[in-house]
Amino acid sequence: MIEIRHLDKYYGSHHVLKDINLKIEKGEVVVIIGPSGSGKSTLLRCMNYLEPIQSGQIRIEDQPIGMIEHKGRQQEMPQKALNKMREKVGMVFQNFNLFPHLSVRDNITLSPLTLGKMDKKEAKETALSLLAKVGLADRAAAFPDQLSGGQKQRVAIARALAMKPHVMLFDEPTSALDPELIGEVLDAMKELAKEGMTMVVVTHEMGFAREMADRVVVMDQGQIIEIGSPDVIFKNPAQERTKVFLHKVLTHS
C-alpha cells in the first residue's frame, strides 16, 4: 500500500528524516512511536506530501506521490496529479481542523461535493452513515462548538472516510483530548482496523499500539531504529534507545 525508499527530509540545514525505508501492506495497522522531536509526525505528513521531501521516493499502491522521475531527474509532480494521489490518503490531525461555520454533516459532505465525487443525495447519505459508524448519528445538525473534543475528532475521522481513502493516517489523534475522551476516539479507530482499513498511526497511546498494531515502528533522532510486532517491541526490544523510551513512557502512564 505504501512504500518509502531512502527518504530524506531537511528543514534548512536540520536533517529531520534520515534515510527512511518502510513498507506498509494493505490492511495493516502500523503504529509509529518514539520520543518527541524524533520525526514521527513529519514522516506521516510526507506520506501524503503535505511535507515536501529532498530525496528518496514515496509510492502509494505503486504510484509515486510528490516526487516523480522526469528525464532522469527527480521533480515535483503537477498539483493536479498530486491532488488525485492525495484522494487515496485520509488524514486525521490532532487538532480536528473542522470548519466552525459548517454543521457536522456539512463538514463531512464538503470535500466529496466540491471535488464532484458524489451528488448531494449520496453525500448526505454517506455522511449520515459515517456518523452512525463513529457513534454520532444524532449530531449531524450540530456545529463543532457544540461538541466535545472526542466528538470533534470522531467527526474528523468520518470526514476523512467520506473521500473513501485506501489508507488512513492519524497524527496523534488523541493528544489534544482530555483523558476521559480518549477512549471513544480509540474505539472508533479500532472499529476501522477491524474492518481492514490500512492505517498508519502516530501516537503516545501504548495500549492502542499493543492491542491493535500489526507492527510497531520506533523512531529516534530522525531514524527508524527498530520495527517489530507489539510483543517483540514491548517485551523484548533489541535497541537500548527503545528500552529507555518505553521505560519513560510506561513509568509515567
List, as one string, the DSSP characters of 160-172. HHTT--SEEEEES
**Integer Cα distance of 228 and 216 in angstroms:** 5
Three-state secondary-structure class, residue 138: helix
Four-residue CA torsion sign, 120, 164, 89, 218: positive
Which among 106, 48, 52, 100 has a CA at the least distance from the CA of 75? 52
Distance of CA 86 to the CA centre of its chain: 12
Phi and psi of 219, rounded to 5°?
-115, 150
pLDDT given at position 252: 65
CA angle in degrees (0–180, nearest 5) for 207-210-216: 120
- pLDDT tens, per residue, the chain with 253 residues: 999 999 999 998 999 999 999 999 999 999 999 999 999 999 999 999 999 888 899 999 999 998 887 777 888 888 888 888 998 999 999 888 899 999 999 999 999 998 888 899 999 999 999 999 999 999 999 999 999 999 999 999 999 999 999 999 999 999 888 888 899 999 999 999 999 999 999 999 998 999 999 999 999 999 999 999 999 999 999 999 999 999 888 876 5
CA distances from 191 to 12, 158, 185, 211 (A): 40, 12, 10, 12
Where does residue 187 rank: exposed (0-12), middle (13-18), buried (19+ CB within 10 A)? middle
CA distance 167 to 185: 18
The pTM score is 0.92
In 3-state terms, what secondary structure has residue 218? strand
